[in-house]
Structure 1
């Protein structure tokens, strides 16, 4: 895939109206000025199926862009602090309490109707209980999270555990209860279940292509979420930020439209119920639009604290792994779609970790001169109030705005190779999965 081309005045009939510099673009996207960032806030083109969805996406992009850039300006250059309880979070916790009370009430009424009412009443009772079950909070389970992962014990991977323990001590985080590896492009932490078990997931393709200090940085960032208490925060806010979206999905009219279209194409007469659903579509779309606006509103309230938490985790990553490593890690994330495509190609060519790492290093070198524009482009393309993370471009700027940090935890090439050797037994099986799915 070619790097972002810099357009000259000969290529486009206009220049930046603010600073008169030549504009840049990627493919057929909206041009912007990489000097003063004129038009960087332009929303990417949307292929959403309906006018309502397209309008909501434009609103989401504008709100997400404004929120993330405003938060960046508020925090840049200041000492990073853990996310504190804000007024918006208090409002969401209050909403969560009301939702939980309503769900408990629905369950109680539903069970009462099932036990005591007539047949119609029992049906209504079952419906109430079913709705309450669908809308219930999810604690998550370790079994589900680890269903496609390989759990690693300290006896199997002492070098990996030693690195994790050293990084956890540096950032003041507790050790995970479970460390596991997967074939996915990821590094993440989760807190699940009634016992709130801490899980660290390291996707082998992602972990192994990072340079040693970038591995320290990603561990410090992920373990930093245990310091932030983000698992408890997400659990407390979960009902408020999910309930309206879940209901909107349940009444999504596209299923009705698809069924009508399939029946007509198959020369089958739609049922009366389907036709009635078709007549009610404008009403359903209006209600769904209102629910989606509420869904967006609750996410907008939650997004500020979640993005602050990510900035703090990045700061911990810089303390442990060094500022240079964090910037390198974020630049790898900017190239995710390109890297996954190329690693998938190499996997189909029977290449393993060494081949993946070579591909990643070549790609990083190819895009080195375009790094600044890629970071800017992420500020536009990744803007959303549903984004728990700030855009990579803003995260890089936040690290660069802070004093430069040298690494406090140094992972040598020898130590990194020892960790790779401990994980090598998963390489061939994951290579086959990557070759099939990437």
Structure 2
């Protein structure tokens, strides 16, 4: 084995060809895939999450073939209601109907049992119905919100992306420390964009625009799972499931209660699985269409680069954990978060230094494992291939150096605050 700087040159023990790779990353052979996935697939998740991932991979592969062949499902079809989508809405309304029925029973208990024990019965059912009510997303005191007045250039960019897509922008932007981004409805009519600073910091300007195009694409293509009816029903079912979870280390009475809750728990899990199955294919289609929007708005190159960054988000997490733990062990920032000024620069520098060989390895591992961002997304390697198989398109929206610097200036205070908190508390605890 020969080493020059960060580059390592060795012979593949399986096929004998020279392997050139960065010694900071896994040594593998591109010719025969030796050691491409040394850790293996790991322990498979169980239960509903496993079913969701399998459905995501199955539908993702099917839709990839359909969209690649130019079949139904072009960019304009995402908002069309399908039979499964209509059934999902009906099931979600039934879930909300149960909540309404509980509220009605509670009111009846109060009225019929006024002044007696029946009032306890009524109050219980009213409290249960209140906890299961459809809850729209509201901003909390813990959310780091950037207003239009604080970040006019960022909002102007979002509005430009939205206009190019034929939709409107967002009403609020929240910045957090997750290596991700997302959109959701805010109240009845509002829109919220959440930007994970660790992801934003490692993207190029065009990749950021592609990210904005992708996220706003969920609004333009009518993602059922993120809609108010189905989304709130899923949260109600999750609350139900929380209530009937078995109590750990039960005594005799608790053991009997756990046993009595088994049928209800199975019923709730079955309804959640059915709701997930009914929305899986439309959700997968929306992801592919949002990717197409990302390419159209931020260029094919920007959208493909974004896919590559998604493949190595584990490196984002690992780097932040290493940096924050190291600084805390050295006594920097344990109390006040001092010494965090260059945290995001160190993260971006590390991500920029990842060699192409590591990206290619992650792509192959993703194909082997069926990697996806989460259980609701199609396999990342298929999303990337679909973008590359199409005709490359230039960006409709661009960000020059001046614009990028203005946006960075608007984020500067939050960058510093979040960096100090991450160093002080450790990544994953903020």
TM-score between the two structures when normalised by the length of structure 1: 0.78
* TM-aligned CA distance change 1:93 to 1:60, over 3 Å: closer
C-alpha contact (below 8 Å) 1:221/1:317 kept by paired residues: yes
* TM-aligned CA distance change 1:159 to 1:85, over 3 Å: same
C-alpha contact (below 8 Å) 1:207/1:215 kept by paired residues: yes
The SS at the match of 2:291 is helix
Cα distance in 1 for residues equivalent to 2:182 and 2:88: 25
**Superposed counterparts of 1:315-330, under 5 Å:** 315-330=292-307
Deviates more, 1:352-361 or 1:207-216: 352-361
Match of 1:27 among 38, 41, 49: 38
- Cα distance, 1:207 vs structure 2: 1.4
* TM-aligned CA distance change 1:76 to 1:8, over 3 Å: farther
The reply to whether residue 431 of structure 1 matches residue 416 of structure 2 is: no
Match of 2:181 among 160, 165, 187: 187
* TM-aligned CA distance change 1:169 to 1:288, over 3 Å: same
| Consecutive unaligned residues in structure 1, runs of 5 or more | 12-20, 31-43, 49-53, 261-273
Cα distance in 2 for residues equivalent to 1:234 and 1:161: 23
**Superposed counterparts of 1:177-256, under 5 Å:** 177-194=171-188, 196-230=189-223, 234-253=227-246, 256=247
* Count of residue pairs brought into register by the alignment: 386
Which residue in 1 is equivalent to 2:389?
Answer: 401
Which residue in 1 is equivalent to 2:161?
Answer: 167
C-alpha contact (below 8 Å) 2:145/2:172 kept by paired residues: no
Residue deviations 1:221-251 (CA, integer Å, cap 9, x gap): 1222232244896212135444444323211
Cα distance in 1 for residues equivalent to 2:257 and 2:231: 31
* TM-aligned CA distance change 1:63 to 1:177, over 3 Å: closer
The SS at the match of 2:105 is helix
Match of 1:335 among 293, 299, 312: 312
Cα distance in 1 for residues equivalent to 2:254 and 2:420: 45
Which residue in 1 is equivalent to 2:271?
Answer: 294
Which residue in 1 is equivalent to 2:26?
Answer: none
Which residue in 2 is equivalent to 1:41?
Answer: none
C-alpha contact (below 8 Å) 1:240/1:298 kept by paired residues: no
The reply to whether residue 72 of structure 1 matches residue 64 of structure 2 is: yes
The reply to whether residue 132 of structure 1 matches residue 132 of structure 2 is: no
Residue deviations 1:89-122 (CA, integer Å, cap 9, x gap): 1112122233333322221221121233174422
Cα distance in 2 for residues equivalent to 1:378 and 1:167: 33
The SS at the match of 1:68 is helix
TM-score between the two structures when normalised by the length of structure 2: 0.79
Cα distance in 1 for residues equivalent to 2:192 and 2:412: 21
C-alpha contact (below 8 Å) 2:206/2:302 kept by paired residues: yes
| Consecutive unaligned residues in structure 2, runs of 5 or more | 1-7, 17-31, 328-338
- Cα distance, 1:190 vs structure 2: 1.9
Q: Which has the higher helix share?
A: 1
Deviates more, 1:284-293 or 1:213-222: 284-293
The reply to whether residue 90 of structure 1 matches residue 82 of structure 2 is: no
- Cα distance, 1:184 vs structure 2: 3.3
**Superposed counterparts of 1:7-156, under 5 Å:** 26-30=37-41, 44-46=42-44, 54=46, 59-78=51-70, 79-83=74-78, 84-117=80-113, 119-141=116-138, 143-144=139-140, 147-154=142-149, 156=150
- Cα distance, 1:342 vs structure 2: 0.4
Which residue in 2 is equivalent to 1:284?
Answer: 261
- Cα distance, 1:403 vs structure 2: 1.8
* TM-aligned CA distance change 1:294 to 1:102, over 3 Å: closer
- Cα distance, 1:366 vs structure 2: 6.1
CA RMSD of aligned residues (A): 3.3
Cα distance in 1 for residues equivalent to 2:347 and 2:129: 46
